[in-house]
């Protein structure tokens, strides 16, 4: 496995530490990012820094990307009408792992183009946040064919702990969107229960303890209580800083909703969650952790 | 403890097995219910059957009630304008434990009347369903003063496993309503995620497995998957029969919403859940288990 | 008609000008309010001011009430357990017109008690606001029997222009709640359309003009545009002052929702409207006109 | 004006009668549709039928299109990667009027491509339905530059009565989406009010009459009551047949929601309306008029 040469495109808050973990794991990594500071950070871990995405993929047998949105991924690999995409440069047999969170339809388009060119494509979005990226404990939700995943798995294990095969091309994205839509609902629903409880005179820590072991139990109560002071080491207890930003939750809810609209699948709670995060973002709180949505319900300043 | 004489009023699907567990535990139980069949069932467990609620409480030092709604509890103990309430009959020092799920304000009214008469009142609604009632594994969420709970605890332990002190009078009801509102949200939210996933081509069992161990994890995925065939021994896998009826969930959501309206507490997902269960009930599905709400999203006949 | 002696209880922002219009119309009015300033204002219009509600009704053949909430009306006429209600004082044949906006069930309770005592009771909540009360152009939505309404009509015409018979006892309240729930939905829905339009680059005045004459046309676009500067003489164009307060809309939505819960009638948009007004109120904007809800969507400070 | 030669692409339920009105108005029309029956129907009105879209535009100085969705319009005029778009064939100075209801972003893309080629492009979606198309009484909501609209206006007047200039390119679509999102909200909100009223014992015709002249007044109460029997000549009174199909409302709500997601504009009632229409469609009612959504609230079979 350590014979692989890996091009890693997109070295931001998530991609940077992921690429560093590959380099620290003894793999040959050729990184690129538009931002010089991100490139410099990776160089410190012994990776080679290329001067363009095109230069990064030269000679690589595996390409990994971690980019912000569908149009970045499509633009990079498939071209944008003006500049041709990188896919045309890759030799047949290359393994392309896109870890970005994008629309399932975009992942399917990329996979289809890959198939035509003899390139194996996996969509492999992650959960676990920047802390998980740094610690190498991410969860990968993977779409694509099983044999390709078998090839990718040793590399993914350098960056994460859980690797779930969700199904065919695009299925990794689909699973991620469903999960994060549900997470948005859990966060708002739990916030409603806790703030209703407070209005009724209950101590939020006591109520959280009761619900956690009852049928209201969920990940938010377990790991990420939105009421300041109930749990240590969560964003709520440090002014909603750090964590997973409200605007990132809004982006994921938007992707889930777009997929639901395209399939005419009713997601009433999911779309209400999107609207509430949009209102929260418009009020200027998009940069705060997504648990700060409780302030919309309590009428306090986040 | 076995010196107690316990009057148990309300011997339905929940109250019946609870009273039976007390009798089987060696306690002297005096039961009453308006329904003769319910009385007969309890008699088989060696309890004394009284011919009226008033007769049941005569000589009892502990009174336990398990009734359908606020007006039954208020009518029984406080009277209804025409007939006087039972509270006037009870000697000072009696312990009254109301296990019904009712409005927190009703519990507070009862507790206040009790205080004036020297009677200790606890609100102690349960979760765990008919199976938990039969097995003696219920959870009690208790409102009232700690010393009174200490008196009640040995009795509650004959009927349940978890006993949580939620706070002052009414706090048990408040905690139950918050928990069950959250449960209604978890059920619909999880159903949305699973049915969106299916629309996107995912296998619901695979998606459920992924989300369960990710940040979408919650009690519904753990114990009560709404998609037929994903879990054994859940209502979804036996035609949505048994379990916790949609109309019972609707009742609890209504109580939560009424409490929220009174406090002007915003519960957007909770009130949407109430509306969806009301639509489900109007369509004729109120008798099916509450996980059947997924059929409203999938457009299939429950 | 001018032989009537009318007791008028509740001389606030609405009741005060209504009672004044009766007095100015040449009728003998005996007013009472707990607030001395309200009493003094009515005295200026030549009405007799009684020193208690009980004193006001002495000798009156018609009693009109305009009070804030269900418990005030029930307390005044039916008693509160401690003090007996005023209904017991009224001679058979009295006509009682309650103009308060309260729960339909409370109006029905009052009507039933009236029937038992030979007193004709109408529920007659109004729309039209303080401006309509002053100008005598209110709309009355009336529940009760037709013959009683025929007796009341000449008096109501001194205070309003439109008198609609909605049905039996409680029907006036029911119609008012349905109408105001719909109004809350129209306000938020119109605000969403206008602010989405702005986000898409449309001029709100142009969009309002187009929708007003299209299938989006509604009372809010016609009379009460929520965007500052689009219409003169609306609260939006004077800092959302005056008009119909957000907290009053929240109260009416709460009453509608309570009625819907009791009947298990699904009102998904109505209950979402209630939650959004509750959030708006919690954020400190309950005193602003109800059209200020647009600020929740636009993320600007109201 | 009658010197114009007009190519009309898309001769379905809306486009067919619109093209016929132009032909009947004495204009030279060259029509095309993929469906032979649609072509034959137009031929009866004296229009020339071309054998392809490309053939239709040959020699035309005005091109009008009426197609189902964004990808049809983009595919026809801009090409789809394989076949080049029709725009390349049109001589500079041509006026292109797209009457389809599509995403504002698609209209803007088309307008931009037109600008580069010296072709004037207007987006001019309509409201008024098939009846309005046949009668020539449509409303056009137009985006694009004023001078181009001035050129188009005499032609539009052959097909419609109201012509509203909404703003720059895409603004016609934006106005249509905002209006139709609001219409979806009005329909559900009015249905909620009427069915809550019925649950409370009100006659829906009486309640509709009261609200129509009160602050709940809106286009649905005025023209399109969803309760069977309240109005003649509406879909509700003929089994929800004819009218504007639920699936078409769902399509428009989906476009509105996609635009809102892209701008991060909160539209809570609008997105809930989309979810409810999606559930209605999944239950098999997509072909019924959009006023049949009331059946989802009443729990009756539509």
* Segment A134-176, tens digit of pLDDT: 999 999 999 999 999 999 999 999 999 999 999 999 999 999 9
Residue B81 has pLDDT above 80, yes or no: no
Closest CA to A186 of B293, B187, D270: B187
Which tens digits make up the pLDDT trace of C180-198? 999 999 999 999 999 999 9
Residue C24 has pLDDT above 90, yes or no: yes
Q: Do D268 and C213 touch (CB under 8 A)?
A: no
Q: Subunits with at least 3 CB pairs below 8 A relative to chain B?
A: A, C, D
Structure tokens belonging to residue C192? 């969403």
Which tens digits make up the pLDDT trace of D207-237? 999 999 999 999 999 999 999 999 999 999 9
Percent of chain B as helix, strand, coil, to the nearest 5: 55, 15, 30
Arithmetic mean of pLDDT, C197-201: 97
Q: Do D211 and C175 touch (CB under 8 A)?
A: yes
Tell me the CB-side half-sphere exposure of residue C60, using CA atoms within 13 A.
Answer: 30
Banded model confidence at residue D301, pLDDT cuts 50, 70, 90: low
Which residues of D belong to the active site?
176
What is the Cα–Cα distance from D61 to D238, expressed in whole angstroms? 43
What is the Cα–Cα distance from D175 to D161, expressed in whole angstroms? 17
Q: Annotated catalytic, A24?
A: no
| CB atoms closer than 10 angstroms to residue C75 | 17
Residue D1 has pLDDT above 60, yes or no: no
Please name the member of B268, B272, B283 whose beta carbon is closest to the beta carbon of D299. B283
The three state secondary structure string of chain A is CCCCEEEEECCCCCHHHHHHHHHHCCCEEEEECCCHHHHHHHHCCCCEECCCHHHHHCCCCEEEECCCCHHHHHHHHHECCCCECHHHHCCCCCEEEECCCCCHHHHHHHHHHHHHCCCEEEECCEECHHHHHHHCCEEEEEECCHHHHHHHHHHHHHHEEEEEEEECCCHHHHHHHHHHHHHHHHHHHHHHHHHHHHHCCCCHHHHHHHHHCCCCCEHHHHHCCCCCCCCCCCHHHHCCCCCCEHHHHHHHHHHHHHHHHHHCCCCHHHHHHHHHHHHHHHHHHCCCEHHHHHHHHHCCCC
Residue B301 has pLDDT above 70, yes or no: no
Q: Do A282 and C272 touch (CB under 8 A)?
A: no
Which tens digits make up the pLDDT trace of C141-164? 999 999 999 999 999 999 999 999
Cα nearest neighbour of D276 on chain B: B297
Tell me the CB-side half-sphere exposure of residue B1, using CA atoms within 13 A.
Answer: 14
pLDDT higher at B207 or C82: B207
Query: Given CB atoms, is B261 within the 8 Å cutoff of chain C?
Result: yes
Pair A15, A99: CB distance under 8 Å: yes
Q: Where are the alpha helices (DSSP H) in C169-267?
A: 171-199, 204-212, 219-223, 246-263
Arithmetic mean of pLDDT, D80-88: 86
Q: Do A261 and D266 touch (CB under 8 A)?
A: no
Pair B181, A192: CB distance under 8 Å: yes
Residue D83 has pLDDT above 90, yes or no: no
Q: What is the pLDDT of residue C173?
A: 98
Which of A82-86, B3-7, B23-27, D100-104 has the least mean pLDDT?
A: A82-86
Instruction: Classify strands B62-65 and B5-9 as parallel, antiparallel or unpaired.
Output: parallel
Pair C257, C274: CB distance under 8 Å: yes
Per-residue burial over D63-85, b if 16 or more Cβ lie within 10 Å, else e, is bbbbbeebebbbbbbbeeeeeeb
Mutation site for D-interface testing, chosen from A84, A109, A252, A264 by largest number of D Cβ within 10 Å? A264
Residue B148 has pLDDT above 90, yes or no: yes
Please name the member of C262, C266, C278 whose beta carbon is closest to the beta carbon of B264. C278
pLDDT over 70, % of chain C: 99
Which tens digits make up the pLDDT trace of B283-296? 999 999 999 999 99
pLDDT over 90, % of chain B: 93
Cα nearest neighbour of D163 on chain C: C210
Arithmetic mean of pLDDT, C5-25: 96
User: Strand pairing partners for D121?
Assistant: D96
Arithmetic mean of pLDDT, D175-184: 98
Q: Do D185 and C189 touch (CB under 8 A)?
A: yes
Q: Do B297 and D282 touch (CB under 8 A)?
A: yes
Q: Is B5 helix (H, G, I), strand (E, B) or coil?
A: strand
Q: What is the pLDDT of residue A84?
A: 87
Banded model confidence at residue A131, pLDDT cuts 50, 70, 90: confident
Please name the member of D181, D215, D256 whose beta carbon is closest to the beta carbon of C179. D215
Cα angle, residue B19 at apex, residues B14 and B21 outer, rounded to 5°: 100
Which tens digits make up the pLDDT trace of A71-113? 999 999 999 877 889 999 999 999 999 999 999 999 999 999 9
Query: Given CB atoms, is B218 within the 8 Å cutoff of chain A?
Result: yes
Q: What is the pLDDT of residue D3?
A: 82
Whose structure tokens read 């969700």?
A166
Banded model confidence at residue C80, pLDDT cuts 50, 70, 90: confident
Banded model confidence at residue A302, pLDDT cuts 50, 70, 90: low
Please name the member of D283, D297, D299 whose beta carbon is closest to the beta carbon of B299. D283
Which residues in chain C are closer than 8 Å to B261, comparing Cβ atoms? 254, 257-258, 274
Average pLDDT of chain C, as a whole number: 95
Q: Do C278 and B271 touch (CB under 8 A)?
A: no
Residue B119 has pLDDT above 60, yes or no: yes
| CB atoms closer than 10 angstroms to residue D159 | 27
Q: Is B128 helix (H, G, I), strand (E, B) or coil?
A: coil
What is the Cα–Cα distance from B202 to B195, expressed in whole angstroms? 9
Banded model confidence at residue B302, pLDDT cuts 50, 70, 90: low
What is the Cα–Cα distance from B121 to A161, expressed in whole angstroms? 52
Which residues in chain C are closer than 8 Å to B278, comparing Cβ atoms? 260, 264-266
> Which member of A176, A223, A251, A298 is catalytic?
A176
Pair D7, D57: CB distance under 8 Å: yes
Which tens digits make up the pLDDT trace of A193-237? 999 999 999 999 999 999 999 999 999 999 999 999 999 999 999
Banded model confidence at residue C130, pLDDT cuts 50, 70, 90: confident
Arithmetic mean of pLDDT, D54-78: 96
Q: Do A272 and B276 touch (CB under 8 A)?
A: no
**Can you list the domains of chain D with their CATH numbers?**
5-168 (3.40.50.720), 174-298 (1.10.1040.10)
Q: Is C280 helix (H, G, I), strand (E, B) or coil?
A: helix
Query: Given CB atoms, is C278 within the 8 Å cutoff of chain B?
Result: yes
Phi/psi-derived region of residue A211, left when phi > 0, alpha when psi is between -120 and 50, beta in every other case: alpha
Pair D185, C185: CB distance under 8 Å: yes
Banded model confidence at residue A18, pLDDT cuts 50, 70, 90: very high
Query: Given CB atoms, is D300 within the 8 Å cutoff of chain C?
Result: no
Pair A38, A8: CB distance under 8 Å: no
Cα nearest neighbour of A247 on chain D: D264
Q: Do C270 and D218 touch (CB under 8 A)?
A: no
Arithmetic mean of pLDDT, B79-96: 91
Residue B250 has pLDDT above 90, yes or no: yes
What is the Cα–Cα distance from A48 to D68, expressed in whole angstroms? 51
Average pLDDT of chain B, as a whole number: 95
Which residues in chain B are closer than 8 Å to A138, comparing Cβ atoms? none
pLDDT over 70, % of chain D: 99
Pair B35, B64: CB distance under 8 Å: no
Banded model confidence at residue C299, pLDDT cuts 50, 70, 90: confident
Which residues in chain D are closer than 8 Å to A283, comparing Cβ atoms? none
Q: What is the pLDDT of residue C83?
A: 82
Residue A119 has pLDDT above 90, yes or no: yes
Mutation site for A-interface testing, chosen from B183, B214, B226 by largest number of A Cβ within 10 Å? B214
What is the Cα–Cα distance from A291 to A295, expressed in whole angstroms? 9
């Amino acid at each position: 496995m350590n014979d692989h040469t890996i091009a890693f495109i997109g070295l931001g808050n998530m991609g940077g530490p992921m690429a560093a973990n590959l380099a620290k794991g003894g793999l040959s990594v050729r990184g690129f990012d538009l931002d010089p500071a991100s490139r410099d950070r990776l160089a410190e871990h012994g990776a080679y820094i290329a001067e363009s995405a095109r230069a990064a993929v030269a000679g690589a047998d595996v390409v990994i990307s971690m980019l912000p949105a569908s149009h970045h991924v499509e633009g990079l690999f498939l071209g944008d009408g003006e500049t041709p995409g990188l896919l045309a440069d890759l030799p047949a047999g290359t393994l392309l792992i896109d870890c970005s969170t994008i629309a399932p339809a975009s992942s399917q388009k990329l996979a289809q183009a890959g198939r035509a060119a003899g390139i194996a494509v996996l969509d492999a979005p992650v959960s676990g946040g920047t802390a998980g990226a740094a610690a190498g404990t991410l969860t990968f939700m993977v779409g694509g064919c099983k044999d390709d995943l078998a090839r990718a798995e040793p590399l993914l294990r350098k960056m994460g702990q859980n690797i779930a095969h969700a199904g065919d091309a695009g299925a990794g994205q689909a699973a991620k969107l469903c999960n994060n839509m549900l997470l948005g609902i859990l966060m708002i629903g739990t916030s409603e229960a806790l703030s209703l409880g407070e209005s009724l005179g209950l101590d939020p820590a006591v109520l959280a303890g009761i619900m956690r072991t009852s049928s209201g139990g969920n990940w938010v109560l377990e790991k990420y209580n939105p009421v300041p002071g109930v749990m240590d080491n969560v964003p709520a207890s440090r002014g909603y800083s750090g964590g997973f930003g409200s605007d990132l939750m809004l982006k994921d809810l938007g992707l889930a909703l777009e997929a639901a609209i395209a399939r005419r699948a009713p997601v009433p709670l999911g779309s209400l969650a999107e609207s509430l995060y949009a209102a929260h973002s418009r009020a200027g709180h998009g940069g705060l952790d997504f648990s700060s949505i409780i302030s919309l319900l309590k009428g306090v300043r986040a």
